[in-house]
Amino acid sequence: MSIIYNNINNTFTLQTKHSSYQLKIVDLGYVLHTYYGNTIYGDDMSYLIQMANRCFSGNPYECSLDRCFSLDTLPQEYSCFGTGDYRIHSIQTINQDGSYASDLRYSSHKIYAGKYHLEGLPSMYADKDTAADTLELTLKDKSTGLTVVLYYGVFEDLDIITRAAKIVNNSNAPIKLTKASSLCIDFNEMNMDMITFYGRHAMERLMQRTPIHHGIQSVGSLRGTSSHHYNPFVIFCDHAATEESGNCYGFSLLYSGNFLAAAEADQINNTRFVMGINPDQFCFQLNAQECFFTPEVALSYSSEGLGALSQNFHKAYRNNLCRGKYKKARRPVLINNWEATFFDFTGDQLVNIAKDAAELGIELFVMDDGWFGDRNDDFRGLGDWVVNEEKLQGSLKELVDKINALGMKFGIWVEPEMVNENSDLYRKHPDWALQIPGRLPNLSRHQLVLDFSRKEVRDYIYDSICKVLESAPIEYVKWDMNRNLADVWSAALPTDRQGEVFHRYVLGLYEVLEKITNRFPDILFEGCSGGGGRFDAGMLYYFPQSWCSDDTDAIERLEIQYGTSYGYPVSSVGSHVSVSPNQQTGRETSLDTRGTVAMSGTFGYELDISKMTPEEKEIVKQQIKHFKKYYFLIQDGSYYRISNPGENNDYAAWQFVSQDRSSSLVNIVTLHARANAPFMHIKLKGLDPEKQYRINESKETYSGAALIYGGYPVPYEKLTNDYQSLQLCLSEA
């Protein structure tokens, strides 16, 4: 059992392979956080907690003579608002008497083998290959009847601990939740950096590293999605932490809606971190005996730097978050028609693109936006999920049969959460869109958002999309979402419950995704939200991959995919080769370089193949063969960041190493050519120092030690022009 309860000192110690997490029940029933870090062996770490009389830090009534015991200075597992802790809090309620205070104290606990389950929310799971244990810690407020069950899931072999909470109203009157966080953790220091990932549409998850300072620093979203702008993944680490060394803590929220991740360094240089649903415009009513589940947070600790921390999350999410057929099965190399045709296509044109693609070894043809209703531009048609047979020159099945006859699978694009005003659906049900009565709505991409908090909306979308998917042998679905939520008001809820809409929207989406992926278990689903606007761990529970960014420029993608790699596996990254000059940036890059970058993802093409030269088509053939050869090394191997393209102007380099360290693939892209350029040596990672390796099937061999400590000299000709690429294929000699 990875959870150890010591009934003498009332400690719970959660053990993973390389870390320990400890909490303790102290006098009066408060639950304190005592330790998270490198493995400890049976120690009661509460000796680290020091107490002193701090002016203006009050004391619980029962120990008012002990002015040193204050909730305002003690490290807590789940901090409350209104009872003497003035730092950022985990939970806030409006009680039946109008008060806001909560006072949660230990009531009971339960330890059992297996992983807890969250009703209606994504969460990591145990299976026959990976065991987990659960601690349920029940806290109660005796004055209000509020009960909180803190869930801890321990994946010992994965070095992952999960946190979540169930909040229960055990009173006979309604209460309102105005804050319900998933995680609270206190550190007895502030001498750390906080790493977050910011961005914008077409430039997501850029790494930002700042020292923790006094006051509150946070990232979050109020856009109804996790957003392009801030990602629900945060790292704390030593100031000197590198890829290979230093204490690092990762926190990943499995949620796709509004979130807040906030850190506060307090008056005595302790740091609290709280993560969960964003409390802005959140007010959830719990009637008597009703409960509320918070989303899950996955935590991991590494004493060996940022690289090992990332690998913990990569392995855990590949194996114990993603589900379904394509969790392990090889995903097909695809081509998407969007950048080739946009809305302007016919069925015959699509078949012609597919013919060219099939000849090159591409395995899946994806028909993007424009195939349904009156959808010839983005002003109309969203919500009318009926095949436009006139445009396709026949039924959807007839088109798919033609594509299948070429030896290719068929995929389709959908955007089920949206509606155009110019649509049959909106004309029939205008109240199904999120908009505030008496106000003109905010438009984005000429569309409104459907109210997924409503059952009739969910049922309509589910039935409509299922009819399409059942009408033809469709094997891939790209599920898109091309705007953020605004004017959030539901016609189906009373005025005093409008603070529930944001969260109910996400729950409604998850309900539809759960049903539709269960009904079509053999379809490969890919998430998208204008690219990376909903690239989060919550979506990975339903879709094993997401379109990483609408920016397909290979050089921009280096930085985007670099930041993404900190919290998410390569197998989740949708990445394609697009046209040069690139449509977003106008930058010209070689087909070799575009292929090298796109291979660090699910791989595919997004361009008009008919415009390629015979020489380019031959390169595509070889790229596809190369990707297939190294597919499982790329998708399942250990990922190493060799350089940071946001800081290193000379080159970007990254590496995949097989689990047995017998093979490796090293990718290098030169960024800035220099006159009379100096030589460049790339020091490799993850190899076995004692093994001999052959590079690109050459006769010469090098020891792993030589390549790690001495490095590999980049051929000089690769340094004489910008944006050249090089791949090193290493095999054990």
Q: Minimal CA–CA distance to 545: which of 517, 518, 579, 568?
A: 568
CA atoms of 453 and 458, how far apart (whole Å): 8
Instruction: Single out the residue of 262, 261, 3, 15 nearest to residue 160, CA to CA.
Output: 15
CA 491 distance to own-chain centroid:
31
Which residues fall within 8 angstroms of residue 355, CB to CB, at 6 or more apart?
A: 406
* 3-class secondary structure, 73: coil
Residue 381 exposure: Cα atoms within 13 Å on the Cβ side = 18
Spatial CB neighbours of 713, under 8 Å, sequence gap ≥ 6? 679, 680, 681
Amino acid at 334: L
Query: Which amino acids are annotated catalytic?
Result: 536, 616
Give the DSSP H or E segment for 357: helix 347-360
Backbone angles phi, psi at 626, to 5 degrees: -65, -45
595-616: b (≥16 Cβ within 10 Å) or e: bbbbbbbbbbbbbebeebeeeb
Residues 6 or more apart whose Cβ sits within 8 Å of residue 666? 642, 653, 654, 655, 682, 684, 712, 727, 728, 730
Helices (H) and strands (E) in the chain, counts: 14, 39
Question: What residues pair up with 136 in beta bridges, in sequence order?
Answer: 110, 151
Q: Which two tokens stand for residue 331?
A: 């995903």
Whole-angstrom CA distances from 137 to 104, 107, 158 are 11, 8, 22
Residue corresponding to tokens 């006051």:
215
Query: Which amino acid, 467?
Result: K
CA distance 40 to 15: 9
Place of tokens 């319900």: 180
| Inter-residue contact 650 to 714 (CB < 8 Å) | no
What the block records as the tokens of 330 is: 């090889």
Report how far residue 611's alpha carbon sits from residue 616's, in angstroms, rounded to the nearest whole number.
Answer: 10
Identify the sign of the CA torsion 533, 535, 541, 546.
positive
Q: Are 547 and 526 in contact (CB under 8 A)?
A: yes
Q: List 235's β-bridge partners, or say none.
A: 195, 250
Residue 343 to residue 341: CA distance in whole angstroms: 6
Distance from C-alpha of 363 to C-alpha of 358, rounded to nearest angstrom: 7
Say if residues 513 and 506 touch (Cβ distance below 8 Å).
no
DSSP class of 80: B
Rounded CA gap, 153 and 124, in Å?
9
What residue spans of 534-648 are helical by DSSP H? Answer: 537-540, 554-564, 591-598, 614-629, 631-636
Task: State the Cα–Cα distance between residues 23 and 25, nearest whole angstrom.
Answer: 7
